[in-house]
Structure 1
Amino acid sequence: MSATRLLVLGVVRMHGTAHGYQVRRELLTWSADKWANVAPGSIYHALKKMESERLLEVATTDAHPGGPDRTAYRLTHDGETEFRLLLEKYLAESDDSAQGSYRLAAAVVFLPALPRIKALSLLKHRLTQVTGHRATAQDLVDNGTSWGQPEHVTELYHLWVNTISAQEVWLRGLIERLEAGRYVMADDEGGSFGAPPD
């Protein structure tokens, strides 16, 4: 699944109701086309697909002078469940692929939609996986050429170790910041980022 799915659900949820142009404008304002590889056309496709899956429902359809009608959507109960499942999955599961980094970025945007203790639990789970990946990558640096790889291939293993180490440092810092009470989370007083309007 793509980061676009979580981002679209999250923006619609955040606004209560939103039409495609509004979702697109919000995500482009966040530069999600760069850090989550969200293409403008994929936003409209995601809205239609999730409507057919009954994750979104039509709230209103307004005539728009000089252009197509604007259909505003809202999350269904199943849409709220899907939003939560994707958010939790993308925070907890380490995935070194490009899609994995896009999904993590999308999940971090909506991190405050979770209660603090839940977010911490998911991030600590991810940290355990990342630490294991780093140990595996370090083993390749230390022993890779003994398996018959050309010597210069070790540079790829160094890149992998350093990339994973950077994520590990960032995760440890984020966990510390959340444990210290940083950021308004779903169970804190006041409205957290991405919360549906009252």
Structure 2
Amino acid sequence: MPGRRKVGNLTALAVLAVLVERPMHPYEMATTLRGRGKDQDMGIKWGSFYTVVRNMERHGLIAAVESVREGRRPERTVYRITDDGRAELVDWARELVATPAAEQPRFRAGLSVLAALHPDEATALLHRRLAQLEDGISSERETLAAHAQVVPRLFLVENEYDLTIREAEAAWIRSLLAEITSGSYPGLAEWRAYHEAGAPGSGPTGGGGTTT
């Protein structure tokens, strides 16, 4: 369950996912994770990477197997995944796949205070966001199609998810913009009148979480 992990940072999950393949030293782990884009999937904080690795060793998820030296570089410790680490990897994957968790996207925060903007400005900003989303979607589709030629689909599933989420967001924004520009959006007249009157205060909604 969430909160019971010995090392709860998602960086630990990323480390387990590469060490299950073979033993590596931390620099090789980091290089492999960067090369596969796992820093984007899991929000890896590279400044704390070595601390996470040490914590994982302390809790028995990984174990040192040898120290190696390459030329004049400092000696590096090679780690392997332990049985406890394998069990943690599988259990963590099960939790993340099966259990929805509350997340706080920045866009949702912006929508929660959309009433602070004049409808015309909100519309312009949403159009700007939509244009950027559409450009990104087009690029991601091309990249995904290219990767699908050489990479098994199983290892692109997170990219498919990202693309689907962005496509859904773009479709929702188009729908919202259609309502605002057609004048059919509920409360639009009051929203517009509030800003055009220049009234002080918290906005036409007076706060709350379901105002837009």
TM-score normalized with structure 2 length: 0.45
User: More relative contact order in 1 or in 2 (CA 8 Å, sep 6+)?
Assistant: 1
Rg larger in structure: 2
Superposition TM-score, scaled by structure 1 size: 0.48
